[in-house]
Amino acid sequence: MAAIALTFAFAGDALAAEEPAREIRLNQLGLEVAGPKRAMLAHPSMTPLPWTLRDAKGETVARGRTRVFGDDAASGEHVHQIDFSGFRKAGDGYRLTVGALESRPFAIDGRLYGALKADALGFFYQNRSGIPIEARFVQRPDLARPAGHAQDRATCFNKADERGQVWAGCDYTLDASHGWYDAGDHGKYVVNGGISVWTLLNVHERAAVLGRTATLAAFADGKGRIPEDANGVSDLLDEARWELDFLLAMQIPAGKTLELPVEMQHPGPAGRLVLTPVDASGMAHQRLADEHWTALPTAPADDRETRYLYHPTTAATLNLAAAAAQAARIWKTIDPAFSARCLDAATRAYAAARRNPEIYALGAFTGSGGYGDSNLEDEFYWATAELYATTGAPEYETALRASPLFLAGPSTGGKPTGDISWGSVGALGTVTLALAPNGLKPAEIATARANLIASADRYLADAASQGYGLPYAAAGYPWGSNSSILNRAMVLGLAYDFSGKSAYRDGAVDAMDYVLGRNPLDRSYVTGFGARPMLHPHHRFWARQAEARYPAPPAGVLSGGPNSTSMGDPVAREMKGRCAPQTCWSDDYRAFTQNEVAINWNAPLFWVAAWLDEPAD
């Protein structure tokens, strides 16, 4: 089905009529032979209904009765669940029927996610800054484009922001021409870049530590679609290094004093902040972005806005410290010089954050997102964990043990870290301590793993409470809800790694099933995969819906997904108050709160697809 859907969705006119929705919803990519097999049906019946599974010849191969879940607040439906996990025969063309209702034909196969993991990683190359996107590395010729911001050199913003706050600027420029565009705009962000590159690197580090040779081989040199495909280094690491180069370039040179807002401040009536001269050496700028939003659509090479470095923050500095420390240990034998450069940047950034622990993203700028964060204990813990795992230095161990988040999981531990997101990165530190070789006592490493497993248990409990069976429960769905679900799937995957308990793998499959079509909209939220894939992301270059001379998106791009809590775009405003949380979504390029794409959303999609595609032990 995936290959058929890819042709349907992206050949010829991207605005062609789409496949109609079906009442029986399941993963539109298919189901695994040995994995769980569940479909969902919205039906008013209060009693179980008979279902039948037929093969491509129309012969009945399994039958049973639905389980009545009942009213489901997240979907707004009365839900029946169909479980045929006991059927384990590979094949294509299977169909489920319930009375007169029939599913689309679907496959049951041993491994389903090889193409998805490759395309999800390809997303990052196609969002690179500072390099042409070549036709030989992309899925269609129209996706090629000239380099955007080939010389991305900028000085500090030195004007009044939208509240009238005048920023002092700086006496230097930085060349940060590499990196990935963050989302649908042309900004590049250190906060958000950190978690995104960490997630990609964790795929490599986990596979190396646990001996998952198939995953390492899948991304070996020459396997990817990138220019660095013949340099003797993993193509996954090459892609991550493009972003690491950007993060390193955003570090402030030694001996620089900047006027910055110290401590959390609330602008007064005139919108003013108190700026204090501080030693900013080693800190990282929050972002490099345009002064004003570019129009949609605008190809990166056509961006004519003035670009600036926006003031450094403690959060950005700790993102740099964490990602660079992680990179230092991964590249230690691959490229010792690069490893040393990363470790030097990480230690200087960490020292700068300790020196300036409360510099927040407080400006009001018109051409980029803020990524403001008022609680930085999770960033401090994450960065400390990465530096300790890399160096074993006692000063990092002391700081690590002093953190209230020490060894905590997202929902368990002394002080739970909260679910993984760009603004909640504490669990990343615990994952590193649970996975990467380090100097903690074996019992402490076991505690880190136990806390991640206990959090996975919480996610499974959430799945049992949901009509659509996904490991996520919330009264309202946030901006980027699909990434929230997939980050939970990552924790479930690690819990399976640490315990071998099949329920955790099944929970990760449930998350992917939801994203790929087992949802009340009968939608695959990934371009190019499934019968009803997302087609029209909010993106300034993949903007065929907005203007015919721009391309439709490539395959492997994840939509942010349903958003019932931040409905600020023109499409979402019309839906506000009239949609159940899982249905507050529209496949419309104008719906930036629902259908934008982002590096920190595609990163967990890649992680989970790569994890699910591993052959059985």
How far the first Cα of the chain sits from its last, in Å, is 27
Q: Tell me whether residue 344 is in a domain.
A: yes
Residue 442 to residues 15, 398, 439, Cα–Cα distance (Å): 56, 17, 9
Show Cβ contacts of residue 393 under 8 Å, excluding neighbours closer than 6 positions: 387
Q: Tell me whether residue 547 is in a domain.
A: no
Q: Tell me whether residue 301 is in a domain.
A: yes
Neighbours of 450 (CB within 10 A): 18
Neighbours of 341 (CB within 10 A): 17
Ramachandran category for residue 418: left, alpha or beta (phi over 0 → left; psi -120 to 50 → alpha): left
Catalytic residue among 285, 311, 538, 539: 538
Residue 305 bears catalytic tag? no
Tokens of 428: 């990343």
Residue 538 bears catalytic tag? yes
Q: What is the pLDDT of residue 18?
A: 79
Tokens of 270: 């005139």
Question: What is the tens place of the pLDDT at every residue in 561-605?
Answer: 999 999 999 999 999 999 999 999 999 999 999 999 999 999 999
Structural contact between residues 511 and 470, judged by C-beta atoms closer than 8 angstroms: yes
353 vs 312: CA distance, rounded Å: 10
Q: Tell me whether residue 334 is in a domain.
A: yes
User: Which residue is it, tokens 């994952």?
Assistant: 431
What predicted TM-score, i.e. pTM, was given to this entire model? Answer: 0.97
Low-confidence spans in the chain with pLDDT less than 70: 1-17, 269, 617
Domain region containing 281: 148-374
354 vs 351: CA distance, rounded Å: 5
252 vs 58: CA distance, rounded Å: 67
We report the CATH number of the domain holding residue 152 as: 1.50.10.10
Count structural domains, the chain: 1
Residue 279 bears catalytic tag? no
Q: What is the pLDDT of residue 17?
A: 63
Q: Tell me whether residue 106 is in a domain.
A: no
Question: What is the tens place of the pLDDT at every residue in 54-107?
Answer: 999 999 999 999 999 999 999 999 999 999 999 999 999 999 999 999 999 999
Tokens of 489: 């799937």
Indicate the DSSP class of residue 544.
T
Indicate the DSSP class of residue 370.
-
Catalytic residue among 497, 596, 613, 614: 596
Q: What is the pLDDT of residue 617?
A: 61
Q: Tell me whether residue 171 is in a domain.
A: yes
**In whole angstroms, what separates CA 270 from the centre of its chain?**
37
Question: What is the tens place of the pLDDT at every residue in 471-501?
Answer: 999 999 999 999 999 999 999 999 999 999 9
Q: Tell me whether residue 13 is in a domain.
A: no
Structural contact between residues 373 and 361, judged by C-beta atoms closer than 8 angstroms: yes
Residue 175 bears catalytic tag? no
Catalytic residue among 185, 259, 497, 614: 185
Q: What is the pLDDT of residue 267?
A: 79
Q: Tell me whether residue 66 is in a domain.
A: no
